[in-house]
Amino acid sequence: MTFLASRLARIKPSPTLAVSQKARDLQAAGRDVIGLGAGEPDFDTPDSIKAAAFKAIETGQTKYTAVDGTPALKKAICAKFERENGLRYTPDQVTVGNGGKHVLFNALMATINPGDEVVIPAPYWVSYPDMVQLAEGTPVIVTCPEEKGFKLQPADLDRAITPRTKWVILNSPNNPTGAAYTEAELRALCDVLLRHPHVWVMTDDMYEHLVYDGFKFTTPAQVEPKLYDRTLTVNGVSKSYAMTGWRIGYAAGPKELIKAIGMMQGQSTTNPSSISQAAAVEALNGPQDFIPQRAAAFKERRDLVVRMLNEAPGIACHRPEGAFYVYPSCAGVIGKTTPDGKVLKTDEDFVTYLLEAEGVAVVQGSAFGLAPFFRISYATSTAALEEACRRIQRACAALK
């Protein structure tokens, strides 16, 4: 349709949202579907956070706020960075948006000129390349194979950098693989970046609190203070505090960049919801004890899913360090034939087969830039996960 802008041709609908919608449609049509496509905790927002939102409504905090965040929330964010990451920021180095996604979007729109390159390690969160393309930049995808733990290797980063490179996007723990960088691994990447002073780091730390087996989370500006002046550290309350629907994300970085992000926001959405901001203040300043409790529950589920998937013929599943995803290889089922005679040629064929034959909704690895794999979100009940893994085992065993 010629009425629509040509920029739309550069992007595609989010494949993860599409899978969740397909699962909902099938459920609405009466099918028994287990959805493992959604990237959100099944836990509810803690009561103390909800209470702060009620209080905000009752006390009239229902008006516009400062465009890029209330002073109270910015103060809470500065305290969080200092307490948890050893990073010192002042409120004018902090911006708050409508979710981490919005902050990343604004940051790219505020900095990318046509032809600027952004290094994106694959497997990647589905939105990075499309956001870069909307901003008229060029995503430079660097493959991180399973043998390397799905992690960006310093030499590969070095090779990917050109004079046009503006950003490298790092995401640890990672969506879709759950891989998280150790301090030593981040150190090695920082060393490469020190040799390329024109490249900035956009680090997406949304899954910071979801790490297991004693893994120690670190972030680039903490590992290498010399990168502080060219790092945008992005985080949010969506995953750690089970607040996906509240739409609060934030970032800290150099003042000039933060101001530019605020300008984007001022001419588009204005401030994020005043009530959600009040709730986020309580999330960051209030009790934190439910975070390790929930992380422990996620770890149990991870272990269950990894064990059961490795029992499915043709599936090989690694044990990731964090987030609530696993990214098993389905190379062992490619080329096999389904009971109704269809040859599985790609991971997309495999996930379609899982949905149609067994009512299990997962997302194909090709959507995240590395095939043949699939992503399972284990942020759902243990009973549902057990049943889903049994169905996957049955589906794989039925292949010839």
Q: Which residues bind ligand PLP (CB under 6 A)?
A: 39, 99-101, 125, 171, 175, 204, 206, 236, 238, 244, 249
- What's the closest the beta carbon of residue 399 comes to ligand PLP, in angstroms? 31
For ligand PLP, the closer CB: 61 or 238? 238
- What's the closest the beta carbon of residue 79 comes to ligand PLP, in angstroms? 20
For ligand PLP, the closer CB: 249 or 262? 249
For ligand PLP, the closer CB: 228 or 246? 246
For ligand PLP, the closer CB: 245 or 335? 245
For ligand PLP, the closer CB: 74 or 101? 101
- What's the closest the beta carbon of residue 106 comes to ligand PLP, in angstroms? 12
- Residue nearest ligand PLP (C-beta atom): 99
For ligand PLP, the closer CB: 359 or 369? 369
- What's the closest the beta carbon of residue 85 comes to ligand PLP, in angstroms? 17
Tell me which long-range contacts 140-145 makes (C-beta under 8 A, separation of at least 24): 140/165, 141/369, 143/369, 143/370, 144/179, 144/370, 145/370
- What's the closest the beta carbon of residue 40 comes to ligand PLP, in angstroms? 7
Strand 249-252 to 94-97 pairing: antiparallel
- What's the closest the beta carbon of residue 98 comes to ligand PLP, in angstroms? 8
